[in-house]
Amino acid sequence: MELRGQVAGLHYEARLPQQTIQPPWPLLLFLHGAGERGDAMGEQLHRVKTHGPWGCPGAEQFLLVAPQCHTDLVWPALVDELVSFMQHITEEFVVDGSRMYITGLSMGAYGLWALLHAR
Chain segment 56-105, per-residue pLDDT in tens: 999 999 999 999 999 999 999 999 999 999 999 999 999 999 999 999 99
Instruction: Dump the DSSP string for 16-77.
Output: PPPTTSPSSEEEEEEE--GGG-B-TT-TTGGGGGSSSGGGSTTGGGSEEEEE--BTT--GGG
| Strand, coil or helix: 82 | helix
| Strand, coil or helix: 90 | helix
Q: What is the mean pLDDT of the chain?
A: 95
- Given this model, what pLDDT does residue 22 score? 92
- Given this model, what pLDDT does residue 21 score? 87
Residues 98, 59: Cα–Cα separation, whole Å: 17
